[in-house]
Homo-oligomer: A and B are copies of this chain.
Amino acid sequence: MTERSVAQRGRPRSEKARLAILAATTEVLLERGLAGTSMDVVAGRAGVGKATIYRWWPTKEALALEALYHSWAVAVPDEPDTGSLRGDLAALLLPWARRLRTQPYGRIVAAFITEAQTNSEFEKEYHARFVRPRREQARAAIGRAAVRGEIPAGTNVELTLDLLYGPLYHRLLHRHAPLSDRFVTDIVDAVLRAIRPERPAVMVRARGDHNRVRTP
């Protein structure tokens, strides 16, 4: 690499400042939400100049995104494979719901979603970091279940993912009821009922778009 061979020039970026900024940002975000988070306050709390923040993050939103990602990236469990779809989904969703309960993360997630509505650059980044990875893990679990024959091969996966995550985000954002463990497992069970093979069934393949029923 040409860039590499030139060897880095100038004073290297301060890791200490970077971590202080991310920590201060997460802290203020949780206290006041994104709109209530001012760069001056973040800079002050991190013991850092505002210009240092703007040198590395173009906007408050980009900073917030990375701050939350950084704060969550600590100890993200790898994709579990428990042998059953129910187990896999629980392993995926329960820890997530539990973390969301520990702090008022809803106000941050809501602000991200709001920003994503009018800022497509941000939307891309938000999805890449917070939405797609979790969705992919769930999709993989569903794929394994189909391979095992646990669910029909023709299951509408996108719909299933929305049935799983939709209600969880709904409670996170609307706060009409707690995001309890019970709620998570109820969602998983309901979704499993909705997609499980409709036995006793006789369908081999009739016609249609995606349904692929396999009876034992």
Interface on A for B, CB 8 Å cutoff? 32-36, 104, 106-107, 110-111, 113-114, 116-118, 123, 127, 131, 135, 154, 156, 158-159, 162-163, 165-171, 173-177, 183, 186-187, 190-191, 193-195, 198-203, 206-209, 211, 213
A194 near B190 with CB under 8 A, answer yes
Besides A33-B114, A110-B116, A201-B201, 19 new A-B residue pairs in contact (Cβ under 8 A), listed by A number: A33-B117, A35-B114, A107-B114, A107-B117, A111-B114, A113-B114, A117-B173, A131-B176, A159-B167, A159-B190, A162-B177, A162-B183, A165-B170, A166-B166, A166-B168, A169-B174, A190-B195, A198-B213, A200-B200
Q: How far is the CA of A158 from the CA of B213 in the complex (A)?
A: 21
Chain A interface secondary structure, helix, strand, loop or mixed? Answer: helix
Give A203 Cβ to nearest chain B Cβ, in Å: 5
Q: Evaluate contact between B194 and A198: CB separation under 8 angstroms.
A: no
Report the copy number of this chain in the oligomer: 4
> A44 to nearest B CB, angstroms?
14
With a cutoff of 8 Å between Cβ atoms, the chain B residues found around residue A118 in the complex are 32-33, 35-36, 107
